[in-house]
Amino acid sequence: MKNKSFVAMLEMILVVIALFIAFNVFFPGFSYKNRWSEALLLQTARDVMLTADRIDKLYEYSFNQNSLQNFLNDVVSSESIISWSERDGAIKNQIVIACNCTNQQMVNLNSWMFELKINGRQISTVQCYTNLEFINPCMDSSDVLVIWGEKDLSAPIYYNTLKKYLNGNGGIVEIADFKSPLNQIQNDIFDLADGGSWASPDYDIILKPNYANNVTYQAYKIYVNGLKGNTTMSEFCKLPSVLNKKIVPSDDDSSKVLSKINKDGGQATRASCAIFNGTRIAWISDFTETTYDTNHTKLLASLLLATSNKKEASSSIPIIRTGYLTSYINIKNADMFEVYKFDLGLGYPY
Amino acid sequence: MKGQFSVEQLISLSIFIAFVAYFFFQFFNLRPVYLGEVKNERIRSEAYQISELLINDPGYPVNWNQNPDSTQRAGLSDQNVNKTNFLSSTKIDVFNSSCTDYNKVKKWIGSDYEFSIFLTDKSTGVLRISCYPSKVIAKGINVTVRRVVAFNSSYGELILQMW
């Protein structure tokens, strides 16, 4: 009898354990996560963006991290909220130029890019030398690569290096006249072709793009509206030692040409002085081979600014538990029409 | 021995009864917790809704600030500018002066809950709106919604509390 009862008790305990497990499976403990704090965080970021725009300070806050931080300290009460910001589509305050050029050329570049002002903000540049087998990262990374002078880029390593560079966000500007026949890389990367011979022009002109989606649109805006360059300038496409060499886009697409000579010279296609291949690759004839003035240097500056990397973060995104990025498309039209995306991130670190 | 319980059987029975009691306790406990959370959600969403109405709605009639007695719904948005998060300075002042009669403002807000509204001009530190009931009775939940707003060329923080 005693053994029988013991077995019954054991059975009961086993049944209770089984029921307890089943109960917890079918009726798990009630927990309710409302995510209210996350919703408020997202709302706060939107409010901050809208308010900054309403008081006409969004442009200042987009480019001045200290002003933005002071504003956030004022309006975001919680000290446990951390912030960061990003910008995409606007010319950076500081542009890092990796230059494959001589010391004198770097000095010239530095003087031409000195104290540039676009839409009321100062644009500074930093130059550093690079070879073309491996692009010098300069500081963290460069925003635009300058190849100055006619270089033999036929070796595959150059093609691979330039392609790799373009896979980042930086642009490439080539400043060169070509005494030798154009090699394949000039066609593949820069979309340049030899267009035959041409007659002597009087001067060069800047072409106004027909549409805002033309590849030359950004550089045109920067040159004409931002830097106040003239739409005509003294001729610089004709290299004295190779008088009749004419460079054109390989497909003769005139929407890729920012500057060209003013005369046909009896042929349908005019010689080009500045050609774009996409929005991040440009070639310009080497104006230092002839007499040049500020229009030529401004044209080069506009190419560098237009092709440069336009993505910038205030700092690296901090480690956060939860965070939201709020985007706002802002427009500035002081010197030139500038459209960019400003992202404000707010998050909880724990 | 027939008709008698052994000690082991008694223990088994009590374990079983304890489990059944636990089961029912847990089961019937779920409902009030769930209802409490639903209630909290309701007050949170109502607080957010009212903050949104105050900031982005001009009220009804839209120029209620010119004749506060005719106000049917309070809203601080500037109908002339008609931009989100941009408040009318005049409406802010009229709303604040109307807060001497909390019940009247409560009717404009149209909520069953009690609330307090504060608006601070962050560039000067001046409290532009201070609106709360004369007697504050604490309840289980107190929801706070903070909104950043602009008015004239200044900016501020609107704090709405609801309970």
Model confidence over B106-135: pLDDT tens digits? 999 888 899 999 999 998 999 999 998 888
**Chain B residues touching A23 at Cβ < 8 A:** 23, 26
**Chain B residues touching A50 at Cβ < 8 A:** 84-85, 148, 150
Higher pLDDT, A8 or A205: A205
Q: Is the pLDDT of residue A268 over 60?
A: no
Q: How far apart are CA B162 and CA B49, in angstroms?
A: 11
Residues A175 and A241 in one domain: yes
CA-closest candidate to residue B144, choices A350, A74, A78, A51: A78
Mean pLDDT of the residues in chain A: 87
Residues A148 and A40 in one domain: no
Grade residue B16 by pLDDT with cuts at 50, 70 and 90. Answer: confident
**Least confident residue range of A22-31, A32-41, A235-244, A279-288:** A235-244
Give whichever of A31-35, A76-80, A259-263, B123-127 has the largest mean pLDDT.
B123-127
Residue pairs spanning A and B at CB distance below 8 A: 88
Average pLDDT over residues A64-83: 87
Average pLDDT over residues A155-183: 90
Supply the ipTM of this predicted assembly: 0.83
CB contact under 8 A, B148 and A20: no
Q: Is the pLDDT of residue A208 over 60?
A: yes
Residues A261 and A327 in one domain: no
**What is the nearest CA distance from B128 to chain A, expressed in angstroms?**
15
CA-closest candidate to residue A300, choices A284, A276, A280: A284
- For chain A, what percent of residues have pLDDT higher than 70? 92
Whether A288 is covered by a domain: the verdict is: yes
Whether A40 is covered by a domain: the verdict is: yes
Q: Is the pLDDT of residue A99 over 70?
A: yes
Residue from A3, A4, A9, A35 to probe the interface with B (highest B Cβ count within 10 Å) = A9
Q: Is the pLDDT of residue A240 over 60?
A: no
CATH of the domain at A237: 3.40.50
Quote the pLDDT of residue A95: 94
Residues A126 and A184 in one domain: yes
Question: Could you tell me if A242 lies within 8 Å of chain B, comparing CB atoms?
Answer: no
Whether A121 is covered by a domain: the verdict is: yes
Q: How far apart are CA B145 and CA B163, in angstroms?
A: 12
Quote the pLDDT of residue A213: 92
Query: CB atoms < 10 A from the CB of A243, how many?
Result: 11
**Chain A residues touching B3 at Cβ < 8 A:** none
Residues A196 and A301 in one domain: yes
Main-chain dihedrals φ then ψ at residue A190, nearest 5 degrees: -100, -5
Quote the pLDDT of residue A295: 94
Which of A34, A43, A54 shows the shortest C-beta gap to B41? A34
Question: Could you tell me if A20 lies within 8 Å of chain B, comparing CB atoms?
Answer: yes
Residues A196 and A249 in one domain: yes
A303-319 pLDDT, tens digit per residue, is 999 999 999 887 667 77
Quote the pLDDT of residue B139: 72
Grade residue B7 by pLDDT with cuts at 50, 70 and 90. Answer: confident
A212-223 pLDDT, tens digit per residue, is 999 999 999 999
Quote the pLDDT of residue A310: 93
Q: Is the pLDDT of residue B63 over 70?
A: yes
**Chain B residues touching A20 at Cβ < 8 A:** 19
Contact by Cβ (8 Å): A275, A283? yes
**Chain B residues touching A76 at Cβ < 8 A:** 148
Residues A67 and A208 in one domain: no
**Chain B residues touching A32 at Cβ < 8 A:** 33-34, 37
**Least confident residue range of A14-23, A161-170, A239-248, A284-293:** A239-248
Torsion of CA A311, A314, A316, A319, to 10 degrees: -130
Quote the pLDDT of residue A5: 65
Residue-range definition of the domain harbouring residue A53: 36-89+317-348
Grade residue A30 by pLDDT with cuts at 50, 70 and 90. Answer: low
Quote the pLDDT of residue B3: 64
Whether A3 is covered by a domain: the verdict is: no
Quote the pLDDT of residue A265: 55
* DSSP assigned state of A271: P
Residues A191 and A162 in one domain: yes
Tell whether pTM > 0.90. no
**What is the nearest CA distance from A184 to chain B, expressed in angstroms?**
55
Which of A1, A23, A44 shows the shortest C-beta gap to B23? A23
**What is the nearest CA distance from B153 to chain A, expressed in angstroms?**
5
Q: How many domains does chain A have?
A: 2
Q: How far apart are CA A182 and CA A272, in angstroms?
A: 15
* DSSP assigned state of A223: I
Higher pLDDT, B69 or A297: A297
Which of B8, B34, B145 shows the shortest C-beta gap to A9? B8
Residues A297 and A197 in one domain: yes
Long-range contacts of B40-47 (CB under 8 A, 24+ apart): B40/A34, B40/B141, B41/A34, B43/B113, B43/B141, B43/B143, B43/B162, B43/B163, B44/A34, B44/A36, B44/B143, B46/B111, B46/B113, B46/B162, B47/B113, B47/B115, B47/B143, B47/B144, B47/B145, B47/B160, B47/B161, B47/B162
Q: Is the pLDDT of residue B5 over 90?
A: no
**Chain B residues touching A1 at Cβ < 8 A:** 1, 6
Whether A10 is covered by a domain: the verdict is: no
Quote the pLDDT of residue A85: 92
Whether A332 is covered by a domain: the verdict is: yes
Quote the pLDDT of residue B89: 92
Quote the pLDDT of residue B1: 52
Grade residue A17 by pLDDT with cuts at 50, 70 and 90. Answer: confident
Residue from B5, B7, B8 to probe the interface with A (highest A Cβ count within 10 Å) = B8
Residues A170 and A273 in one domain: yes
Question: Could you tell me if A27 lies within 8 Å of chain B, comparing CB atoms?
Answer: yes
Residues A339 and A220 in one domain: no
Question: Could you tell me if A8 lies within 8 Å of chain B, comparing CB atoms?
Answer: yes
Residues 6+ apart with CB under 8 A from A36: B44
Chain B residue nearest residue A34, CA to CA: B41
Quote the pLDDT of residue A272: 85
Q: How far apart are CA A95 and CA B39, in angstroms?
A: 55
**Rg from Cα positions in chain A:** 30
Residues A98 and A205 in one domain: yes
